[in-house]
Amino acid sequence: MTRTRPARLRRGSTVAVVAPAGPVDPDLLAAGVAVLESWDLTVKLAPHVLDRHPTLPYLAGRDVDRAADFEAAWCDPEVAAVLCARGGYGSQRVLDLLDWDAMAAAGPKILAGSSDTTVLHDAVGAALDVVTLFAPMIAGPLFDADAQRHLQDTLFYPESVKRLIGPNTATAGHGVAEGVTVGGNLSLITANLGAANFFPPPDGAILLLEDVGEAPYRIDRMLTQLLRAGWFTSVSGVALGSWARCGDLAEIDRVVEDLLGGLGLPMVWELGFGHCPGQLTVPLGAEAVLDADNGTLTMSDAALS
Protein backbone atom coordinates (compact mmCIF):
# COMPACT_ATOMS: atom_id res chain seq x y z
CA MET A 1 0.00 0.00 0.00
CA THR A 2 1.28 3.47 -0.88
CA ARG A 3 2.63 5.49 2.03
CA THR A 4 1.75 9.10 2.81
CA ARG A 5 3.70 11.61 0.73
CA PRO A 6 4.98 14.50 2.85
CA ALA A 7 4.44 18.02 1.58
CA ARG A 8 7.07 19.48 -0.75
CA LEU A 9 9.23 22.36 0.41
CA ARG A 10 8.58 25.94 -0.60
CA ARG A 11 10.58 29.14 -0.30
CA GLY A 12 10.71 29.99 3.40
CA SER A 13 10.18 26.41 4.60
CA THR A 14 12.06 25.43 7.75
CA VAL A 15 14.33 22.39 7.77
CA ALA A 16 16.23 20.84 10.68
CA VAL A 17 19.72 19.38 10.40
CA VAL A 18 20.53 16.52 12.78
CA ALA A 19 23.47 14.15 13.33
CA PRO A 20 22.12 10.71 14.26
CA ALA A 21 25.32 8.85 13.39
CA GLY A 22 28.96 9.92 12.99
CA PRO A 23 30.63 13.21 14.00
CA VAL A 24 30.13 16.16 11.67
CA ASP A 25 32.85 18.31 10.12
CA PRO A 26 32.03 21.95 11.00
CA ASP A 27 33.31 23.30 7.69
CA LEU A 28 31.31 20.84 5.60
CA LEU A 29 28.25 21.57 7.75
CA ALA A 30 28.63 25.31 7.21
CA ALA A 31 28.98 24.77 3.46
CA GLY A 32 25.88 22.56 3.36
CA VAL A 33 23.84 25.02 5.40
CA ALA A 34 24.87 27.79 3.03
CA VAL A 35 23.50 25.75 0.12
CA LEU A 36 20.19 25.20 1.91
CA GLU A 37 19.92 28.89 2.73
CA SER A 38 20.62 29.73 -0.92
CA TRP A 39 17.41 27.81 -1.66
CA ASP A 40 15.57 30.29 0.62
CA LEU A 41 15.13 27.70 3.36
CA THR A 42 15.27 28.51 7.06
CA VAL A 43 17.75 26.12 8.70
CA LYS A 44 17.57 24.97 12.29
CA LEU A 45 20.67 23.19 13.56
CA ALA A 46 20.00 20.57 16.22
CA PRO A 47 21.59 21.45 19.59
CA HIS A 48 23.99 18.48 19.48
CA VAL A 49 24.77 18.44 15.75
CA LEU A 50 28.47 19.18 16.35
CA ASP A 51 28.86 17.08 19.50
CA ARG A 52 31.46 14.37 19.98
CA HIS A 53 30.85 11.32 22.14
CA PRO A 54 33.00 11.54 25.30
CA THR A 55 34.55 8.08 24.85
CA LEU A 56 33.51 6.76 21.41
CA PRO A 57 35.00 9.05 18.74
CA TYR A 58 32.99 7.52 15.89
CA LEU A 59 29.71 8.88 17.30
CA ALA A 60 28.30 12.41 17.09
CA GLY A 61 27.57 12.73 20.80
CA ARG A 62 25.75 10.51 23.26
CA ASP A 63 22.95 8.25 22.04
CA VAL A 64 20.36 10.01 24.20
CA ASP A 65 21.33 13.42 22.78
CA ARG A 66 21.32 12.27 19.16
CA ALA A 67 17.93 10.65 19.67
CA ALA A 68 16.56 13.72 21.43
CA ASP A 69 17.69 15.95 18.56
CA PHE A 70 16.05 13.73 15.96
CA GLU A 71 12.78 13.42 17.89
CA ALA A 72 12.61 17.13 18.69
CA ALA A 73 13.22 18.04 15.05
CA TRP A 74 10.49 15.69 13.89
CA CYS A 75 8.02 16.94 16.49
CA ASP A 76 8.76 20.63 15.87
CA PRO A 77 5.65 22.03 14.13
CA GLU A 78 7.78 24.57 12.26
CA VAL A 79 10.00 21.92 10.67
CA ALA A 80 8.98 20.55 7.26
CA ALA A 81 12.02 18.32 6.70
CA VAL A 82 14.62 16.57 8.82
CA LEU A 83 17.97 16.34 7.03
CA CYS A 84 20.75 14.06 8.30
CA ALA A 85 24.10 15.84 8.22
CA ARG A 86 26.24 12.77 7.54
CA GLY A 87 26.39 8.99 7.86
CA GLY A 88 29.17 6.95 9.40
CA TYR A 89 27.78 4.79 12.15
CA GLY A 90 25.32 5.18 15.01
CA SER A 91 21.74 5.51 13.74
CA GLN A 92 20.87 2.01 14.97
CA ARG A 93 21.72 3.10 18.51
CA VAL A 94 19.00 5.78 18.56
CA LEU A 95 16.06 3.76 17.22
CA ASP A 96 14.95 2.36 20.58
CA LEU A 97 15.25 5.78 22.25
CA LEU A 98 12.69 7.51 20.02
CA ASP A 99 9.07 8.16 21.07
CA TRP A 100 7.37 6.84 17.98
CA ASP A 101 3.88 7.75 19.24
CA ALA A 102 4.90 11.38 19.67
CA MET A 103 6.50 11.42 16.24
CA ALA A 104 3.40 9.89 14.66
CA ALA A 105 1.27 12.57 16.30
CA ALA A 106 3.48 15.26 14.77
CA GLY A 107 2.33 14.25 11.30
CA PRO A 108 4.23 13.46 8.10
CA LYS A 109 7.36 15.33 7.11
CA ILE A 110 10.40 14.74 4.94
CA LEU A 111 13.34 12.59 6.04
CA ALA A 112 16.43 12.91 3.84
CA GLY A 113 19.78 11.15 4.14
CA SER A 114 21.65 8.06 2.99
CA SER A 115 24.28 5.52 4.04
CA ASP A 116 23.84 4.87 7.80
CA THR A 117 20.45 6.62 7.61
CA THR A 118 19.15 3.45 5.93
CA VAL A 119 17.89 2.11 9.28
CA LEU A 120 16.05 5.37 9.96
CA HIS A 121 14.39 5.19 6.54
CA ASP A 122 13.24 1.67 7.32
CA ALA A 123 11.92 2.51 10.79
CA VAL A 124 10.41 5.91 9.96
CA GLY A 125 8.81 4.64 6.77
CA ALA A 126 7.19 1.67 8.46
CA ALA A 127 6.30 3.19 11.85
CA LEU A 128 5.12 6.57 10.54
CA ASP A 129 3.86 5.42 7.12
CA VAL A 130 5.67 8.10 5.11
CA VAL A 131 7.72 8.19 1.93
CA THR A 132 11.34 9.12 2.70
CA LEU A 133 14.26 10.30 0.55
CA PHE A 134 17.53 8.37 0.18
CA ALA A 135 19.50 11.51 -0.49
CA PRO A 136 22.97 13.06 -0.27
CA MET A 137 24.20 14.22 3.13
CA ILE A 138 24.36 18.00 3.33
CA ALA A 139 27.58 17.87 5.42
CA GLY A 140 29.16 15.06 3.44
CA PRO A 141 32.09 15.22 1.01
CA LEU A 142 29.90 14.22 -1.95
CA PHE A 143 27.40 17.09 -1.72
CA ASP A 144 28.48 18.39 -5.10
CA ALA A 145 26.61 20.65 -7.53
CA ASP A 146 24.83 17.80 -9.36
CA ALA A 147 23.75 16.14 -6.10
CA GLN A 148 22.56 19.49 -4.79
CA ARG A 149 20.55 20.18 -7.93
CA HIS A 150 18.79 16.81 -7.89
CA LEU A 151 18.00 17.07 -4.18
CA GLN A 152 16.65 20.59 -4.63
CA ASP A 153 14.46 19.50 -7.54
CA THR A 154 13.14 16.55 -5.51
CA LEU A 155 12.35 18.73 -2.51
CA PHE A 156 10.73 21.61 -4.42
CA TYR A 157 9.62 20.20 -7.80
CA PRO A 158 9.29 16.42 -7.29
CA GLU A 159 7.21 15.91 -10.43
CA SER A 160 10.25 16.99 -12.47
CA VAL A 161 12.47 14.13 -11.25
CA LYS A 162 10.15 11.11 -11.35
CA ARG A 163 12.39 9.33 -13.88
CA LEU A 164 15.82 8.30 -12.56
CA ILE A 165 18.80 7.10 -14.57
CA GLY A 166 22.51 7.33 -13.84
CA PRO A 167 25.31 8.28 -16.23
CA ASN A 168 26.62 4.71 -16.28
CA THR A 169 23.42 2.73 -15.81
CA ALA A 170 23.36 -0.67 -17.52
CA THR A 171 21.03 -3.66 -17.69
CA ALA A 172 21.94 -6.53 -15.37
CA GLY A 173 18.71 -8.54 -15.73
CA HIS A 174 16.02 -7.96 -18.33
CA GLY A 175 12.38 -7.12 -17.72
CA VAL A 176 10.09 -4.69 -15.93
CA ALA A 177 9.13 -4.67 -12.25
CA GLU A 178 6.47 -2.64 -10.45
CA GLY A 179 6.40 -2.17 -6.70
CA VAL A 180 7.34 -0.10 -3.68
CA THR A 181 10.96 1.06 -3.40
CA VAL A 182 12.87 -0.20 -0.34
CA GLY A 183 16.45 -0.67 0.79
CA GLY A 184 19.54 1.52 0.74
CA ASN A 185 22.89 0.55 2.20
CA LEU A 186 23.55 -3.20 2.05
CA SER A 187 25.58 -3.30 5.29
CA LEU A 188 22.83 -1.60 7.28
CA ILE A 189 20.09 -3.78 5.83
CA THR A 190 22.04 -6.87 6.80
CA ALA A 191 22.91 -5.52 10.25
CA ASN A 192 19.22 -4.93 10.95
CA LEU A 193 18.20 -8.55 10.34
CA GLY A 194 16.48 -9.99 13.40
CA ALA A 195 16.01 -6.66 15.18
CA ALA A 196 12.69 -6.02 16.89
CA ASN A 197 11.91 -3.10 14.58
CA PHE A 198 13.13 -4.82 11.43
CA PHE A 199 10.69 -4.61 8.54
CA PRO A 200 11.19 -7.01 5.60
CA PRO A 201 10.22 -5.75 2.13
CA PRO A 202 6.56 -5.88 1.09
CA ASP A 203 5.41 -8.12 -1.72
CA GLY A 204 6.62 -6.92 -5.10
CA ALA A 205 9.19 -4.52 -3.67
CA ILE A 206 11.89 -2.91 -5.80
CA LEU A 207 15.10 -3.25 -3.82
CA LEU A 208 17.82 -0.57 -3.87
CA LEU A 209 21.32 -1.68 -2.86
CA GLU A 210 24.64 0.17 -2.55
CA ASP A 211 27.65 0.19 -0.24
CA VAL A 212 31.04 1.73 0.45
CA GLY A 213 34.36 0.30 1.56
CA GLU A 214 33.26 -3.34 1.49
CA ALA A 215 35.44 -5.95 -0.24
CA PRO A 216 33.71 -8.20 -2.80
CA TYR A 217 33.80 -11.21 -0.44
CA ARG A 218 31.98 -9.15 2.20
CA ILE A 219 29.33 -8.14 -0.32
CA ASP A 220 29.05 -11.85 -1.17
CA ARG A 221 28.58 -12.67 2.52
CA MET A 222 25.90 -10.03 3.07
CA LEU A 223 23.91 -10.95 -0.04
CA THR A 224 24.16 -14.61 0.94
CA GLN A 225 22.87 -13.77 4.42
CA LEU A 226 19.88 -11.93 2.97
CA LEU A 227 19.18 -14.82 0.58
CA ARG A 228 19.35 -17.39 3.39
CA ALA A 229 17.02 -15.22 5.49
CA GLY A 230 14.45 -15.29 2.68
CA TRP A 231 14.75 -11.56 2.19
CA PHE A 232 14.49 -11.72 -1.61
CA THR A 233 11.27 -13.75 -1.58
CA SER A 234 9.10 -10.66 -1.99
CA VAL A 235 11.41 -8.67 -4.26
CA SER A 236 10.31 -8.05 -7.86
CA GLY A 237 13.32 -6.06 -9.08
CA VAL A 238 16.75 -4.78 -8.00
CA ALA A 239 18.38 -1.40 -8.61
CA LEU A 240 22.09 -1.32 -7.78
CA GLY A 241 23.83 1.93 -6.90
CA SER A 242 27.46 2.78 -6.24
CA TRP A 243 30.13 0.50 -4.79
CA ALA A 244 32.72 3.13 -3.85
CA ARG A 245 36.03 1.80 -2.50
CA CYS A 246 34.71 -1.76 -2.75
CA GLY A 247 37.45 -3.00 -5.06
CA ASP A 248 37.18 -4.15 -8.65
CA LEU A 249 33.69 -3.35 -9.96
CA ALA A 250 33.94 -6.24 -12.42
CA GLU A 251 34.40 -8.62 -9.48
CA ILE A 252 31.41 -7.13 -7.67
CA ASP A 253 29.39 -7.56 -10.84
CA ARG A 254 30.38 -11.24 -10.90
CA VAL A 255 29.39 -11.64 -7.24
CA VAL A 256 25.98 -10.09 -7.85
CA GLU A 257 25.41 -12.14 -10.99
CA ASP A 258 26.44 -15.35 -9.25
CA LEU A 259 24.12 -14.81 -6.28
CA LEU A 260 21.19 -12.88 -7.75
CA GLY A 261 21.29 -13.66 -11.47
CA GLY A 262 19.49 -16.95 -10.99
CA LEU A 263 16.50 -15.20 -9.40
CA GLY A 264 15.44 -13.96 -12.83
CA LEU A 265 14.66 -10.47 -11.56
CA PRO A 266 14.80 -7.28 -13.62
CA MET A 267 17.99 -5.58 -12.40
CA VAL A 268 20.01 -2.48 -13.26
CA TRP A 269 23.63 -1.68 -12.48
CA GLU A 270 24.95 1.74 -11.35
CA LEU A 271 21.68 3.65 -11.19
CA GLY A 272 23.54 6.64 -9.74
CA PHE A 273 22.59 6.66 -6.05
CA GLY A 274 24.78 6.06 -3.01
CA HIS A 275 28.38 7.06 -2.38
CA CYS A 276 29.10 8.63 -5.75
CA PRO A 277 29.52 12.04 -7.36
CA GLY A 278 26.23 13.51 -8.54
CA GLN A 279 24.28 11.26 -6.17
CA LEU A 280 20.62 10.97 -7.16
CA THR A 281 17.89 11.40 -4.56
CA VAL A 282 15.69 8.29 -4.59
CA PRO A 283 12.31 8.03 -2.82
CA LEU A 284 11.80 5.03 -0.54
CA GLY A 285 8.35 3.64 0.20
CA ALA A 286 7.04 4.97 -3.12
CA GLU A 287 5.39 3.08 -5.97
CA ALA A 288 7.72 2.84 -8.95
CA VAL A 289 8.47 1.00 -12.18
CA LEU A 290 11.92 -0.45 -12.81
CA ASP A 291 12.57 -0.95 -16.51
CA ALA A 292 15.80 -2.90 -16.67
CA ASP A 293 15.95 -2.82 -20.46
CA ASN A 294 16.18 0.96 -20.65
CA GLY A 295 17.87 1.34 -17.27
CA THR A 296 15.29 3.57 -15.60
CA LEU A 297 13.47 3.76 -12.28
CA THR A 298 10.31 5.84 -12.64
CA MET A 299 8.14 6.95 -9.74
CA SER A 300 4.43 6.38 -10.30
CA ASP A 301 3.71 9.67 -8.51
CA ALA A 302 5.83 12.59 -7.36
CA ALA A 303 7.58 11.63 -4.11
CA LEU A 304 6.19 14.66 -2.29
CA SER A 305 2.70 16.11 -2.40
- Show which residues are catalytic: 115, 210, 275
Q: How far apart are CA 23 and CA 21, in angstroms?
A: 7
83 membership: H or E segment, kind and range: strand 79-84
Distances (CA, A) of 141 to 85, 86, 118: 11, 9, 18
Q: Please count the CA atoms within 13 angstroms of the CA of 140 that sit on its side-chain side.
A: 32
Q: What is the DSSP string of 126-139?
A: HHH-B-EEE---TT
Q: DSSP 3-state assignment of 222?
A: helix
Q: Do 32 and 139 contact (CB within 8 A), yes or no?
A: yes
